[in-house]
Chains A and B, each alone.
Chain A
Amino acid sequence: MARSIEVHPDTDIPVLRIEPSRGWISLRLRDLWTYRELLYFLVWRDVKVRYKQTLIGAAWAVLQPLLTMIMFTVIFGHLSKIPSEGLPYPLFSYSALLAWTYFSAAMNRSGNSLLGDAHLIERIYFPRLIIPLCGVVAPLVDFFFGLLALVGMMFWYGIMPTWSILTLPLFLLLALLTALAVGLWLSPLNVRYRDIGYAIPFLVQIWMYASPVVYPVTLVPERWRLLYSLNPMVGIIEGFRWALLGKEITAIGMIGVSTITVLMLLWGGATFFKRMERTFADVV
């Protein structure tokens, strides 16, 4: 919607103009900044509500990746004997699961976010981008609990973090942006076609096997690696393993390719979202 808030030169009174929007419009990131407190409160709501009626609360954040890790260690580490690049398999898979659990939760939440907050969209104005954004920020809380468990595991296995751990926030940000990009594409589609809601869990499942969660990148034949790293999660998970465990980096190029893919996906998603945004209230 083409709305502009301008401050009248003489009086200081903001003037709001509402009119039909035409063509492709800007993302209005400034508008988003004005509403940053709303983002904070929505994230705060999601986190609070999530733990309010659970028995073990935040322990879920650790249990989920931990139990998955144990399962993977038994099936893939011991039974299938998948190589883990010299690392203990539990650490190898948990470091990836840390990134993956966050990413899948964030993608799932932001993909369903607009429907979840449909009543808000019908009743009040705020930059709609806040909703999928809230979906990717809220699971960060779980991520930090999961990270604490990893620190404990590293201690147990006697692996000390190196200076490379300082780059972890960068890879986390990349994971957040990937989830946001997917959310920006999926959530408006989900408003229109409820099919998307059914497709998301399936997408999460397939995507996981297309990412190096249970197996190392080195298992992928060399000539397919470039194509493989078009999946942003390849670079992100590799980055996580490198940052946390100091594992030798396989290919810095893969991380580069992943980053470029994410940025393109994000730009497209934001534009798409803005364009679809106009009709949300009419369709929801």
Chain B
Amino acid sequence: MSDIAIRVDNLSKEYKIGTAKYRHDSLQDHLAEWARSLFVRNSPRLPKSADRVAPSASRPSPKGYIWALKDVSFEVKQGEVVGIIGRNGAGKSTLLKILSRITEPTGGFVEMRGRVGSLLEVGTGFHRDLTGRENIYLNGAILGMKKVEIDRKFDEIVDFAEIAKFLDTPVKRYSSGMYVRLAFAVAAHLEPDILIVDEVLAVGDAAFQQKCLGKLQNVAKEGRTVLFVSHSLAVVEHICRKGLVLQGGTLAFDGTSKEATDYYLRGLSVGRQPSTSSTIDLRNATGRPKACRPLLKRLELFGDEGALADGALKIGAYFKACIHIELDKPTASLDAGLGFDNLLGQRVFTTHTLFQPDWKREERVGEQMFVCEVPSLTLVPGEYKIKVALDIDGVEVDYVEDAARLTIVESNYYGTGKVPWNGVFVLQQRWQLK
């Protein structure tokens, strides 16, 4: 298959636990250990590869070793943009380090077709005392560019970084923003067939991040293969076609980026057991900060056909929520609100008594109930987390994050049988051709 750019086959990497312990230690300890190993046969060296078949989570590795990566196999086609997600310690960095040849695997192999460029950080090798101009050449060479190549792209790099005026100033006098811009600009002009990127977009201000993202998308459009590790699920969904989820050193999921982020999020909420019944007990909710007074008691969700049994609602349907509270002392200033977050953690909709012009405030005590009605909830299909909050005297005294999950399902909202596949909400609209 000639259109496969990266082939990873049963890739494994074993680390000795306590490598960290040996980092800066002295010869003395090692001599002692070596002397001991002379007397103890079969001291904890790596087992022969024949014994090392199918290492898995169920088969613990020999004492003192840990598999940072276990039998990971996948293929990336030429021109594909692949996002790799996973929790800390899932093996993302180890995978990137092997692919960029910084460390060597313990088992398996990788085959890559084309020039490989890797960016595990921007500004690798920048020297504080050197000027911007000097650092462009140094950093370019470190990233694997030839001098003639840097000469050719020099002006472009300076333009992209917007530092023309400070070209001959040592970079230690740069603001952090300028430094990062310059560093990214050099990296962005690397032209490998396969680009391996780690989180480098988490730098700079929002406008610059946008510029970087655009650059990365261009790289993809030019038919280059990109392997991208990120914590930002929205970015992965946005720029990657394919997604891989790593879990505990193994490949847990391989599919489209949308499926991968969904899979990852489901994994995160395991153990939280988001309630899908229509009545949610809030008294012992896990999403409540310790500092809150637990005044919120119960949340009930309704659709146009009564209680929401499965937590699912069609696009644009009627939505009602009842928030039950119990006030321990009389109070006159009472407010409540609901917030809807998508699974990427973005707030998509907030409703609050504060927004209602004729909201009456009168003294209340004991059990009370807020009723919130939304005539048409026009969020796009997907899963949403509902936050419920209670304010007394303008202070948020109690709130529960992710109190309930609401699933919006596709419906014939526009009457055309078509629903939007992106965006956040749907709205009534009118088109004309004149």
Contacts and interface: CB of A to CB of B under 8 A. Distances in A.
B177 interface: no
Contact of A283 (B22, B102, B138): B22
B101 interface: yes
Interface string A158-173: 0000000000000000
B98 A18 contact: yes
Contacts of B102: 121-125, 281
A18 B182 CA distance: 31
A119 interface: yes
A120 B125 contact: yes
Contacts of B109: 17-19
Interface residues of A, number: 42
B26 interface: yes
Interface string A211-230: 00000000000000000000
Nearest to A278: B104
Contacts of A193: 25-27, 30
Given A124-B100, A124-B143, A282-B19, A17 B111 contact: yes
A267 B193 CA distance: 36
Contact of B147 (A37, A45, A278, A279): A37
A53 B172 CA distance: 13
B153 to A, nearest CB: 15
Interface in B23-39: 23-27, 30
A49 B127 CA distance: 8
Interface stretch (A7-15, A66-74, A95-103): A7-15
Interface stretch (B112-120, B206-214, B216-224, B396-404): B112-120
A21 interface: yes
A45 B22 contact: no
Interface string B11-25: 000010001001111
A42 B134 CA distance: 11
Contacts of B285: none
Nearest to B15: A282
Interface in B217-265: none
A81 interface: no
Interface string A182-194: 0000000000111
Nearest to B148: A37
Given A19-B108, A48-B130, A123-B102, A14 B115 contact: yes
Contact of B99 (A18, A121, A283): A18
A3 B108 CA distance: 13
Nearest to A22: B49
B137 interface: yes
Contacts of A8: 113
B428 interface: no
Contacts of B129: 48-49, 52-53
Contact of A192 (B30, B99, B118): B30
Interface in A73-109: none
A15 B98 CA distance: 16
Given A49-B127, A53-B129, A282-B19, A38 B120 contact: no
8 contacts: A13-B114, A18-B99, A20-B104, A37-B146, A41-B142, A42-B141, A195-B27, A279-B103
Which 7 A-B pairs have CB atoms at the shortest separation, nearest pair first?
A125-B101, A19-B109, A41-B141, A1-B104, A18-B110, A193-B27, A123-B124
